[in-house]
């Protein structure tokens, strides 16, 4: 009461009947009137950052397209921080320069190998025809020439590059699976491999492997390459290549692959899918043994007639 005995007038802003400690309508029960901010939990520090904003980042700086917890300065999770996001997968200028000089080296090196290999192969023809293992000289020259050709051609053919990459550019590659999986070219145990569209496979200084051929076919054709190395190019063409072509699918020897010139190719190549008798194997070895003598070229016609 006032000293005059009158009651003080109520606060006009306070609802009638409301006490001074009654919270304002619309304010949550138990809320502190001194902390009227409804978005701030009772007792929370209003100076603290919004829980929805991590690390004190200003909400105004957040891109709505940026995932929660992502670094706003690096919003693309596929691009590492500090990486150049422009033109992904594009070859840099330095890579292009490096590739250019690599291609130049391939062209020069490939051309040099072709010239050297061709010179060796041609020079060997004069003496390799007598046999006695001199045919391997011709094979070395031819393989060197073809390796250079593959190196040179890979500059212009992505498929050649891929085929040779699959064997690590190893001319002595012995992986049959990798060779038979090639599309255009390959190397197998020192011999160049050329993939052909189909039909029969063949071998003369290189393996001409029909697409779809299995690993035993590859081994067999490589075995023919060993025959050429032992006999030389002349005896190989007349006593291996000619009867092989003319007696295909004939059974004079009990089957095409049972003929001495085919059976020894299987033996040299390590074919696993065919089996032969001891007599057949001995006959095939004798055939090659006789042909590999220095005077083979004299006995060739007689021997061929005798074996028919």
Helices (H), the chain: 93-128, 135-153, 158-165, 176-180, 215-231, 233-236, 242-246, 260-269, 278-291, 296-306
Residues 206 and 194: beta-carbon distance below 8 Å: yes
Read off the DSSP letter of residue 56: G
Identify which of 264, 211, 209, 206 has the alpha carbon closest to the alpha carbon of residue 239. Answer: 264
Read off the DSSP letter of residue 240: I
Query: pLDDT digit string (tens) for 141-188?
Result: 999 999 999 999 999 999 999 999 999 999 999 999 999 999 999 999
CA neighbours within 13 Å on the CB side: how many for 117?
21
Query: pLDDT digit string (tens) for 20-67?
Result: 454 555 555 555 555 545 445 555 555 555 554 445 555 555 455 555
Which residues touch 161 (CB under 8 Å, ≥6 apart)?
A: 154
Overall pTM > 0.75? no
Query: pLDDT digit string (tens) for 101-137?
Result: 999 999 999 999 999 999 999 999 999 887 778 899 9
185: three-class secondary structure by DSSP? strand
């Amino acid at each position: 009461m006032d000293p005059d005995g009158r009651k003080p007038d109520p606060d006009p802003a306070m609802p009638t009947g409301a006490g001074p400690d009654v919270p304002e309508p619309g304010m949550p029960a138990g809320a502190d009137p001194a902390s009227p901010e409804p978005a701030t939990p009772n007792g929370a520090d209003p100076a603290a950052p919004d829980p929805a904003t991590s690390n004190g980042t200003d909400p105004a700086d957040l891109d709505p397209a940026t995932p929660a917890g992502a670094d706003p300065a690096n919003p693309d999770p596929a691009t590492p921080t500090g990486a150049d996001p422009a033109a992904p997968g594009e070859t840099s200028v330095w890579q292009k320069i490096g590739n250019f000089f690599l291609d130049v080296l391939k062209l020069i090196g490939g051309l040099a190998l072709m010239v050297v290999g061709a010179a060796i192969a041609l020079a060997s023809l004069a003496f390799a025809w007598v046999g006695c293992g001199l045919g391997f000289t011709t094979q070395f020259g031819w393989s060197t020439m073809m390796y250079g050709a593959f190196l040179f051609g890979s500059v212009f053919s992505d498929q050649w590059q891929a085929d040779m990459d699959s064997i690590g550019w190893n001319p002595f590659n012995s992986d049959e699976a990798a060779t038979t999986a090639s599309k255009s070219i390959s190397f197998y145990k020192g011999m160049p491999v050329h993939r052909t569209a189909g039909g029969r496979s063949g071998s003369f200084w290189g393996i001409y492997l029909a697409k779809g051929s299995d690993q035993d076919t590859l081994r067999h054709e490589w075995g023919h390459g060993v025959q050429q190395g032992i006999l030389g190019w002349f005896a190989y063409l007349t006593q291996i290549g000619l009867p092989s072509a003319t007696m295909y699918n004939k059974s004079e020897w009990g089957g095409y692959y049972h003929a001495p010139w085919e059976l020894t190719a299987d033996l040299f190549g390590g074919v696993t899918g065919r089996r032969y008798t001891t007599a057949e194997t001995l006959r095939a070895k004798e055939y090659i043994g006789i042909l590999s003598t220095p005077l083979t070229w004299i006995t060739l016609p007689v021997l061929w007639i005798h074996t028919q």
